Structure 1
C-alpha cells in the first residue's frame, strides 16, 4: 500500500526566496492574478486563492497565508521575455540620468501617470505602454512600475533628450506627407502676445486669451504617443489639449480631423474642441470648458 505525500506549504516570504523574487513583487503577482486581496491593510485569500493557499498561525507572528509549494511552477511566475520585466521610477531616473524626484512629474506631463492624494496612479495611456499599478504593502500608497520596453518609448526618449538639451531630428522628417503639406501651406506667421508664432488669426486669438488669462500653454505640442501627431495647444495644468478646427469645408482637413479625434478617444485624453463660431466668444466659452478639467481661468 502506498501513501501520497502530504502537501508542503510555504509562507509568501519562503515562496519568494525559492522563486528568487522580491516579496513585494510576489504579492503584486498574486494580487494581479486574483489570488489575494487587501482588506483592512491585510492580505487575505480570494475564493480562487483558497484553491492553492491556506491560512496558518504562527505563535509569534500570528496568522499568515501559506501556499502549496506547487504554486511556484505555475505560469504566473514565469518571465518569458523582456516585456515582463518591470522597473520602478528610480530605475528610470538612473537610466536617463535625472533626479528621481523629477521622473514622476515628467511622466505626468506626458500623461502616463497622474498625482493621487498620495503617490501616483496610472492613466489609460500609461497602461497602454506597459504600466502596472502597484501599492506599497505597509502604507497602501499607489505607485507605478513599468515594462522595461518603456526605455525605448519614442516620446519619452524625445522628452528626455529635450530636457537634456540634446539635438532632436527635425519634426518634418517624422510627420506624414499630408501633415507636412498642411504646415507648408499654412505657415506659422501670426505672432501672438507671448511670442508664439501660430498659423492663423483664430489660433493667435486663442493663444492671446490663454496668455492674458495666465494659463501656461504650449503651441503645437507633440502628443505623448508613438504616432506622430501634434495638438494645437497643450495645457500642462490638467493635461488638457485644445484643438481648433478651422477648415470645416475642406474634405482632406475633415478626414485628418476624424483621424485625430480617434486618437484622442483611444488614449482618453482631455480634449477641448473649438470652431470658428467660438472664436469671438472665448470669454464665455473657454472658462466653462476649462472648468470641466479643474482649470480656473480667472
Structure 2
C-alpha cells in the first residue's frame, strides 16, 4: 500500500522508505505510544494524531493508518537506525541466496532458538547474541529480532557464509588454489568475498589434532574406537549429529560430535591426549560452561558405558526441549 495523493504514506510504505522491517516499525510506533493494538487491527492514539497520523479507506485493504511524509525526517524515527534490529527477512539483503527458513534453521542448529508450534523461541545462547523475543501481533506466533550488527558477527558470518558457499569457502582446506582473482563478478550474482577468511599469506589452521582413520556406520570419519562407539550409538539412536562441529565462538574450537536436536556437544577423552590437544579440549569445556551449552565428556574408561551415559544425558536434555 502506498500513500494517497497528498504525500501521505501507509505504515508499510513508511517502513520501506526508512529501510526498516515493517514489523519493527509497527512495534516502535506502539512503543512510542503513537498507535495501539485494538482487536485485529492497529489504531491511532492521541499522540499519533498529533504527529499527523490519520486514517485512509481502501476497498481492498479497508481502513488503515497513513502518515505525512515529513515523518521521514522525524528525530525519533531517524534514531531507530542506531538501535535498529533485524529479522531473518532483513538478513536476506546480506545473504540473498538464503531463504528465511534456512536462516532460522541454521540458528536453531546452533542452539540460538527453538522452532516450536508457538513459533520461534529464544534460547539463552540466542540472548547471548542479542536476540529479543517478539510476538507477531496478527497471529500471536513468537518471533525473534536480532541487533543489526549480528550480520557482522564473525560467528554468524562464518555459519551463514558456509551455507551460501555450500561449505567450500576460502577458509576450507579443500578450496581450490587456482582462484587467484580476488575481485568478485558482481554482475553474475557471485557471493562477495569472505571478509573474515584467512589471509592468503597465512597458513590454514586445522584445529583437530589427528587424521581420521576409520568410519562409523553413517560414514562419519572417526579417530578412535571410543569415537566410533559414540558415533554408532548416535546413528542407531536415530539422532542426526555433526562431526568436528565448530563451537559458536570466534576461536577455532570444535567438539568431536554435536547433536542439534538437543544442543549437545560431546567430547571423547582418550587415555593419552597430546598437550596441544589437551589445552584445546580444556578450552572447549570452559567455553561450553561460559555459554551454558550442553556438554558431555566420554572418557576412555567409559567406553563400555557409552549407552548408559548418552541415554541418560539425551533423555535429560529432551525433557528440557
**TM-score under structure 2 normalisation?**
0.62
For 2:117, the equivalent position in structure 1 comes to 117
Structure 1 residue 196 displacement after superposition: 2.0
Q: CA deviation at 1:118?
A: 1.8
Q: CA deviation at 1:219?
A: 0.9
Q: Aligned residue for 1:187?
A: 211
Aligned to 1:53: none
User: Equivalent residues in 2 for 1:190-209 (5 A)?
Assistant: 190-209=214-233
Give the Å deviation of 1:138: 3.7
Whether the 8 Å CA contact 2:264–2:295 is kept in 1: the answer is yes
Offset of 1:221 from its aligned partner?
0.9
CA deviation digits over 1:255-295, x for unaligned, max 9? 43332222112222222222223211222221111111218
Give the CA deviation at 1:195.
Answer: 2.1
Contact 2:269/2:297 (8 A) holds in 1:
yes
5 Å-filtered alignment, 1:27-66, equals 28=27, 66=46
Q: Structure 1 residues 22, 232: closer, same or farther in 2, change over 3 A?
A: closer
- 1:94–1:100 CA contact under 8 A, matched in 2: no
Q: Could you list the per-position Cα deviations for residues 181-202 of structure 1 after superposition, in whole angstroms to 9, with x for gaps in the alignment?
A: 861xx32213323222222221
Unaligned runs of 5+ in 1: 1-12, 44-60
2:314 is the alignment partner of 1:290: yes
Q: Aligned in 2, Cα 1:139/1:149: closer, same or farther, shift over 3 Å?
A: same
Residue in 2 that maps onto 1:91: 90
1-structure distance, mates of 2:256, 2:308: 20
- Secondary structure of the residue aligned to 1:292 is helix
1:31-63 deviations in Å (ceiling 9; x for gaps) = 889x9xx9xx879xxxxxxxxxxxxxxxxx9x9
Q: In the aligned structure 2, how far is the partner of 1:266 from the partner of 1:136?
A: 32
Contact 1:135 1:142 in 2 (8 A): yes
**Any conservation in 1 of the 2:266–2:297 contact (CA below 8 Å)?**
yes
Contact kept? 2:215, 2:228, Cα under 8 Å: yes
Seen in structure 2, the aligned counterparts of structure 1 residues 227 and 123 have a Cα distance that, compared at 3 Å, is farther
Q: 1:128-139, aligned counterparts within 5 Å?
A: 128-139=128-139
For residues 273 and 100 of structure 2, the distance between their equivalents in structure 1, rounded to whole angstroms, comes to 49
Q: How many residues align?
A: 251
Contact 2:207 2:254 in 1 (8 A): no
**TM-score (structure 1 length as normaliser):** 0.66
Q: Does 1:103 align with 2:127?
A: no
**How far is the alpha carbon of 1:117 from its aligned partner?**
2.6
- 1:32–1:289: structure 2 CA closer, same or farther, 3 Å change rule? farther
Determine if contact 1:158/1:168 at 8 Å carries over to the other structure. Answer: no
**Does residue 225 in structure 1 map to residue 226 in structure 2?**
no
| Structure 1: distance between partners of 2:261 and 2:254 | 18
Structure 2: gaps (5+ residues): 1-10, 52-70, 174-196
Q: Aligned partners of 1:244 and 1:32: how far apart in 2? A: 50
Q: Which residue of 1 aligns with 2:166?
A: 165
What's the Cα RMSD here?
4.1
* Structure 1 stretch displaced more, 215-224 or 156-165: 156-165
Equivalent position to 1:256, from 277, 280, 284: 280
